[in-house]
Amino acid sequence: MLAEKGFIMLTTLYRRSLLGVADAPPVAKFVQSQGLKLGAGRFVAGEGLEDGIKAVKALEAEGKYAILDPLGEFVASEEGVEEITQSILAMLDTLAAQDMAQKYVSVKPTQFGLAISRDKAYENAKRIAERAKHADIRICLDMENSPYVDDTLDIFKTLYNEGYHNLSTVLQSYLYRTMADLEDLLTLSPKPFLRLVKGAYRENEDVAFQDKAKVDAAYHEMVFAALEAGASIGLATHDESIIGEVEGFLRGAKDNAPYVEFQLLYGVKPALQQRLLAADHPVYIYVPYGPDWYGYFSRRLAERPANLLFILRGLFA
Amino acid sequence: MLAEKGFIMLTTLYRRSLLGVADAPPVAKFVQSQGLKLGAGRFVAGEGLEDGIKAVKALEAEGKYAILDPLGEFVASEEGVEEITQSILAMLDTLAAQDMAQKYVSVKPTQFGLAISRDKAYENAKRIAERAKHADIRICLDMENSPYVDDTLDIFKTLYNEGYHNLSTVLQSYLYRTMADLEDLLTLSPKPFLRLVKGAYRENEDVAFQDKAKVDAAYHEMVFAALEAGASIGLATHDESIIGEVEGFLRGAKDNAPYVEFQLLYGVKPALQQRLLAADHPVYIYVPYGPDWYGYFSRRLAERPANLLFILRGLFA
């Protein structure tokens, strides 16, 4: 009991301090310049779209599917936003011409306008959704930290109601608001596909559970509420306890089972990926790529101290 | 990987040596005379039937049910066997007069004749099943080590086919033969209730998996084969991974869910007992009692080093 408490305190401290250190310029500079070679390459497919596509094809050859995640966050200038939007549209055109089993992209609203205004982001999200629709590409409107949740949900619902059913979005169980958001999203018709995560941003106690056990319990509640409502979900967690319980649910529900994608991050728990594949579940790997991989990468390290060991091993090998 | 292997080796060594030490006369003598006071009382209700009944009533007051397990194994003399059988019958008469929500007793065939002959055990099992039937008492014909499996299954099937549907038995996943036994038992009509365990005796590699991962996988296979055949089972394990998966299965199967009792041992994982109770599952606690509690107790210690710490704390408190 005490030991467990101590462990939680330690990992919390570790997480806080790592998110701090990762922002410090010299560390960031060093890791950014050397990181992909030193071990970040396990978690990030590479810096270019061609690296991402290569990773997708390798995964598809193993029987998995992929969700491409062009990394980057928070672009504040009109020009920057237009540039990113153009690059996403160009990426969709590139994918359209590729020979892939599934085409599936995750995009972050603060990249294409949400840091400026809801309307700018809506407009660009619609350009993206429209382009993707014609190329049979699924788009996941990713969820960022709490100040952006309202607008992201609003943009998602508006576009979904306009007929962009190739669009999905994400709910984060650590936010207090999430069960209400789930209920609201399940009133859409047809029920949207939802990616369900615990949440990885640093949020304060006014908006989010701080305690891991509470986040886990909230995740459990959210997942089963969605499944019992018959929603299709992306179970985006590496928590083997809830994964096992959902596997049991699907087995019990047989022909009435809702559609569940088991979504895991590139490079994380490869044995679990193989086990799920062997059990005939749809396995989707989130494939991040791009020059701005550093923020993503430091969140992965903060989540799990063992990942840092993996990198340190690379540093001193 | 290496650390895990080391841990498995250590716990295997620990288990072997503990099962060895537990047989050494001075240790046995000391623990037998002092053990219930020193900590074994957490796992054993007491030495007399009155202790067992008291424990059952305390459990029922909490909303749980109990399976009474009069401890003792392997009686080789005709007189000894008759004495034990008489004491079991007297116990059933005592229970018949008690005010309890459920009456449920587990008995070991080598106590009442299987160490002498199949026929002796059959005859006494029938006396027990008959007496219990009239008092609405469920009897679980417990499974012992591998030399007794054939006869126990044969006695069970014979009595079950004679109409003693208050009788159930046990399958142990560590035995190679178990999937075939399960298939065979599921041909009985109506399908019998089965208590499913991993197995706790020391068995050699000719008959049983030695590797924990294989025993776990075999348990998983057995449990889901039974559930998917619609059998009612006692999920007799403390393995929270499979417990969660079965909970998911029941949730998914909704009205088609088979009946599952979550069976746990007296004193083990109290937090898990409460969680299952809070989730509205039928929780059954296996309540061992009797002067011969030592063999049972040393198997519990061998299974889980932490239980030894619990005892040592009692010794030096």
Q: What is the pLDDT along chain A (317 residues), one digit of tens a residue?
A: 444 444 444 344 444 544 555 555 665 666 666 666 656 788 899 999 999 999 999 999 999 999 999 987 788 899 999 999 999 999 999 999 999 999 999 999 999 999 999 999 999 999 999 999 999 999 999 999 999 999 999 999 999 999 999 999 999 999 999 999 999 999 999 999 999 999 988 899 999 999 999 999 999 999 999 999 999 999 999 999 999 999 999 999 999 999 999 999 999 899 999 999 999 999 999 999 998 787 777 777 777 666 666 555 544 54
Decide if B107 contacts B75 (C-beta within 8 A): no
With CA atoms as reference, report the closest residue to B129 among B101, B176, B161: B161
Contact B251 A252 (CB under 8 A): yes
Contact A252 B247 (CB under 8 A): no
Confidence of residue B40 (pLDDT cuts 50, 70, 90): confident
Instruction: Return the amino acid letter for A245.
Output: E
As a whole number of angstroms, the distance between CA A111 and CA A100 comes to 26
Among B248, B254, B256, beta carbon nearest to A245: B248
Among B227, B244, B251, beta carbon nearest to A241: B244
pLDDT digits (tens, 9 = 90+) for B173-230: 999 999 999 999 999 999 999 999 999 888 999 999 999 999 999 999 999 999 999 9
As a whole number of angstroms, the distance between CA B111 and CA A264 comes to 52
**pLDDT for B314 beyond 60:** no
Contact A257 B252 (CB under 8 A): yes
Decide if A70 contacts A289 (C-beta within 8 A): yes
Confidence of residue B299 (pLDDT cuts 50, 70, 90): confident
- Residue A122 is predicted with a pLDDT of 98
Decide if B107 contacts B140 (C-beta within 8 A): yes
Q: Which listed residue (B69, B142, B151, B216) is catalytic?
A: B142
Confidence of residue B9 (pLDDT cuts 50, 70, 90): very low
Residue A192 DSSP symbol: P
Contact B253 A252 (CB under 8 A): yes
**pLDDT for B13 beyond 50:** no
Q: What is the DSSP string of B18-64?
A: HHHHHHSHHHHHHHHHHHHHHTGGGTS--SSHHHHHHHHHHHHHTT-
Distance from CA of A100 to the nearest CA of B (A): 33
**φ/ψ bin of B231: left (φ > 0), alpha (ψ from -120 to 50), beta (otherwise):** beta
Confidence of residue B265 (pLDDT cuts 50, 70, 90): very high
Interface list for A 192-231 with B (CB within 8 A): 224, 227-228
Q: Which of A223, A233, A235, A245 to mutate to test the interface with B (most CBs of B within 10 A)?
A: A245
**pLDDT for B266 beyond 60:** yes
Q: Which domains does chain A have, with CATH numbers?
A: 45-292 (3.20.20.220)
As a whole number of angstroms, the distance between CA B189 and CA A8 comes to 52
B42 included as an active-site residue? no
- Residue A135 is predicted with a pLDDT of 96
- What value does the CA radius of gyration of chain A take, rounded to a whole number of Å? 19
**pLDDT for B115 beyond 70:** yes
Q: Is B3 on the interface with A (CB under 8 A)?
A: no
- Residue A2 is predicted with a pLDDT of 41
Among B224, B240, B253, beta carbon nearest to A253: B253
As a whole number of angstroms, the distance between CA B284 and CA B264 comes to 6
As a whole number of angstroms, the distance between CA B236 and CA B246 comes to 12
**pLDDT for B3 beyond 50:** no
* Cα–Cα distances in angstroms (integers) from residue A184 to residues A57, A192, A199, in the given order: 36, 11, 19
- Residue B293 is predicted with a pLDDT of 80
B202 included as an active-site residue? no
Instruction: Return the amino acid letter for A197.
Output: V
User: How many A×B Cβ pairs under 8 Å?
Assistant: 57
**pLDDT for B21 beyond 60:** no
Contact B241 A241 (CB under 8 A): yes
- Residue B4 is predicted with a pLDDT of 44
Distance from CA of B247 to the nearest CA of A (A): 7
Interface list for A 240-259 with B (CB within 8 A): 240-242, 244-254, 256-257
Q: Percent of chain B beyond pLDDT 90?
A: 74
Tokens of A22: 């990762």
Among A240, A244, A252, beta carbon nearest to B257: A252
Contact A252 B252 (CB under 8 A): yes
| Helix or strand (DSSP H, E) at A183 | helix A178-185
- Residue count of chain A: 317
Alpha helices in A97-177 (DSSP H): 118-134, 149-161
- Residue A295 is predicted with a pLDDT of 75
Enumerate the residues of chain B whose CB falls inside 8 A of the CB of residue A252.
227, 248-254, 256-257
- Residue B310 is predicted with a pLDDT of 59
- Residue B23 is predicted with a pLDDT of 55
Distance from CA of A272 to the nearest CA of B (A): 14
Q: Percent of chain B beyond pLDDT 70?
A: 83
